[in-house]
Structure 1
Amino acid sequence: MNEPLAERVRPKTLKEYISQHHLIGAQGALTQQIKNGTIPSLILWGPPGTGKTTLAHIIAEESKRPFYVLSAINSGVKDIREVIDKAKQAGGLFTTKNPILFIDEIHRFSKSQQDSLLAAVERGWITLIGATTENPSFEVIPALLSRCQIYILNAFGKEDLETLLHRAMREDSVLRQKEITLKETETLLRLSGGDGRKLLNIFELVINSEASDRIEVTDAMVQAKVQQHTALYDKTGEQHYDVASAFIKSIRGSDPNAAVYWLARMIEGGEDVKFIARRLLIAASEDIGLANPTALVMANTTFQAVSAIGYPEARIILSQCTIYLATSAKSNASYQAIGKAQKLVRETGNLPVPLSLRNAPTQLMKDIGYGKDYQYAHDHANNFVDAEFLPEDIKGQSLYKPGQNARENALRDFLKKRWKDKYDF
């Protein structure tokens, strides 16, 4: 049988669908919409192998709508218009259920291709479902983005992955003919990286490589089989995120040699130049931050430059930026600070803004205390006033902790001189 295991056991109904409970669980964001058939145009954003395509098919099936599929890899504006024309004609048979157009890898569509979808989405000729592994705010034009809801799919957790394995063993016609024992699954799960399709592909490779129908799966066995079948980097395949992860971790670990090696792997594999440049942008802020603020400037300039010139010359600029970031001082203090702040917001809710900090454009607002007692920092020595800027319920909370590097040591001294012991800088 040539059909891969992942296709053979692809879920057909919501009941069979595994994971993404925040979307299709009892209280899921999409559950009621699917039941009611009131599906908005939407974009499913998540890592590979998390069920984006499967969910789109299930939504169409559950809502009983005509379903059209395009792949951004091999479809042009002409293909889009042809499908929209068909959808308009089919939609005439449905008074409340317009056809669904599913576009896989929508981030690969050009601006003109995305523009060609606008009228159809806006006028309700189609309900658009796009699937992407890339941040839609970078890759989808604002006009189309504003007409779609964004739903994030998460990488599968351990329990979900194990459920996938057991269901495949139980339901697949090929695997049912074998006596399979899952003695150890740690290596299988680790190699999958939270990608359900990748997990099933590895599992099938391991099972098919055994001559006997009685198979005991162990970590050592899986590791040996996978090493024998290691594939070259494929920008649309399973190693895409593994190599990108190694690239970022090498930069974070201040190893320019490894960083350039993983960069070369991506370049030789034909990786999108903007995909690499975006990872450099993220690393410049997440892993270097205020230890060297110029890193973000360098990464942003790199992004603009490589977007303009493309390969082959872009490889030189990418290499320069990669080495610069790898050899830079490191700090994740800004990354940690926003994480703590978001956690605090989720825990404390929408606390009222102190009256002294509120804007008071009208006399009524001034009369009820907006802006009262606010002290303008520039009217004081050192352009600083010891005042409270956090809501009353969380005053004194310390979110930013300067990192241990030359620049942030100077920032720590600056803040200590002003705030003394208040925030424990």
Structure 2
Amino acid sequence: VTLIGATTENPSFEVISALLSRCQIYILQNLTEEELISLLQKAIKTDAVFSTKKIEIAEYEALIRLSGGDARKLLNIFELLVNALDSDEINITNKTVLDNVQQNMALYDKAGEQHYDIISAFIKSIRGSDPNAAVYWLARMIAGGEDASFIARRLLILASEDIGNANPNALLLANTCFQSVNVIGWPESRIILSQTVVYLATSAKSNASYEAIGKAQQLVAQTGDLPVPLHLRNAPTKLMKNIGYGAAYQYAHAFEGNFADQEYLPENISGTKFYQPGQNSAEAKAQEHLKKLWKGKYGY
């Protein structure tokens, strides 16, 4: 028995892995412009409804673009258009299509592959400092009816992960953007999102903080619950004070330059560096400051 299945969705998302591993997957690509035009011409001649009307297509561009290379979508759009015009003689231009097709036909499935592909391209464009590409992908998401809050949340994450302390204002603007779009809504939110996207795309970049927490979490997983140094422990009771909790702690503000050269890490991992400042002017200053404070301890 040979079972053949077809889906318009990405099988990675829609088919369980146990079944997917036993299948041979064939990916059908979008139809070409020539194939779509041929399909339309055939439909006009053979369809029970279309063939009774005198239909002339003067311009194909809008129909082809809205179809996204999908034959089924193209025929659905064409049927909507013919029904909307409701005449025995129909002349179709790009303007006719755009004026009469009310439903948003953008190729953007918020639960499928296009959703993830476009948001991926969007984030990577901002990370890559290309405001033009970033705004384009933003427009694609808007055209597809994406939730403004979802876009703003991704910008919040990016502002910290990919810009960080190279420009701390990025996170402030992204947070303001998130709050604003939840108050304003569409269509005005597109302006706020665009401003934020352009700012983030043109900002200096650093993933140093992102890398630092990743390294620290990895070490925690490897070393477990290392004891807190005695001088850093909290001493809320007399007993704790008597056994030395917090006894040797040096209050940084009591020293010159508000810095006390003492150990803050568990003994077993003393001198481990998690944070390596990024290559940007803001973090270059931070590196010089850390080098001055810690000398050669962390290799700054």
After TM superposition, the score normalised by the length of structure 2 is: 0.69
Equivalent residue letter for 2:125: S
- Which has the greater radius of gyration? 2
Residue 295 (structure 2) pairs with residue 420 (structure 1)? yes
1:3-152 alignment, distance < 5 Å:
5=6, 49=13
Equivalent residue letter for 1:49: F
**Equivalent residue number for residue 235 of structure 1:** 110
Query: What CA RMSD, in Å, does the superposition of the two structures yield over aligned residues?
Result: 2.4
Matched pairs, number? 223
Residue 186 (structure 2) pairs with residue 311 (structure 1)? yes
Partners of 1:291 and 1:407 within 8 A in 2: yes
Indicate the percent of aligned positions where both proteins have the same amino acid: 65
Between the aligned partners of 2:156 and 2:14, the Cα distance in structure 1 is 25
Tell me how far 1:379 sits from its aligned partner: 0.5
Between the aligned partners of 1:416 and 1:408, the Cα distance in structure 2 is 12
Greater per-residue helix proportion = 2
Q: Deviations over 1:262-298 (max 9, x none)?
A: 0000000000001100110011000000000000000
2:221 to 333, 336, 346: 346
Partners of 2:234 and 2:246 within 8 A in 1: yes
**Equivalent residue number for residue 296 of structure 1:** 171
1:167 to 3, 18, 22: 22
1:205-216 alignment, distance < 5 Å:
205=28
**Equivalent residue number for residue 189 of structure 1:** none
Between the aligned partners of 1:395 and 1:236, the Cα distance in structure 2 is 47
Unaligned 5+ residue runs, structure 2? 30-67, 72-105
Partners of 1:235 and 1:266 within 8 A in 2: no
Between the aligned partners of 2:167 and 2:231, the Cα distance in structure 1 is 34
**Equivalent residue number for residue 359 of structure 1:** 234
Tell me how far 1:368 sits from its aligned partner: 1.2
1:391 to 262, 266, 290: 266
**Equivalent residue number for residue 250 of structure 1:** 125
**Equivalent residue number for residue 281 of structure 1:** 156
Tell me how far 1:205 sits from its aligned partner: 4.0
CA pair 422-168 structure 1, distance change in 2 beyond 3 A: same
CA pair 347-254 structure 1, distance change in 2 beyond 3 A: same
Q: Deviations over 1:132-172 (max 9, x none)?
A: xxxxxxxxxxxxxxxxxxxxxxxxxxxx6xx7544135xxx
Unaligned 5+ residue runs, structure 1? 11-47, 55-159, 170-199, 207-226
CA pair 6-371 structure 1, distance change in 2 beyond 3 A: farther
**Equivalent residue number for residue 400 of structure 1:** 275
Greater per-residue strand proportion = 1
After TM superposition, the score normalised by the length of structure 1 is: 0.50
Residue 182 (structure 2) pairs with residue 327 (structure 1)? no
Partners of 1:5 and 1:204 within 8 A in 2: no
Tell me how far 1:204 sits from its aligned partner: 6.3
Between the aligned partners of 1:295 and 1:49, the Cα distance in structure 2 is 33
Tell me how far 1:234 sits from its aligned partner: 2.0
Between the aligned partners of 2:259 and 2:294, the Cα distance in structure 1 is 10
Equivalent residue letter for 2:13: G
Between the aligned partners of 1:345 and 1:382, the Cα distance in structure 2 is 31
Equivalent residue letter for 2:284: N
Tell me how far 1:380 sits from its aligned partner: 0.2
Q: Deviations over 1:28-81 (max 9, x none)?
A: xxxxxxxxxxxxxxxxxxxx8288xx7xxxxxxxxxxxxxxxxxxxxxxxxxxx
Between the aligned partners of 1:165 and 1:278, the Cα distance in structure 2 is 32
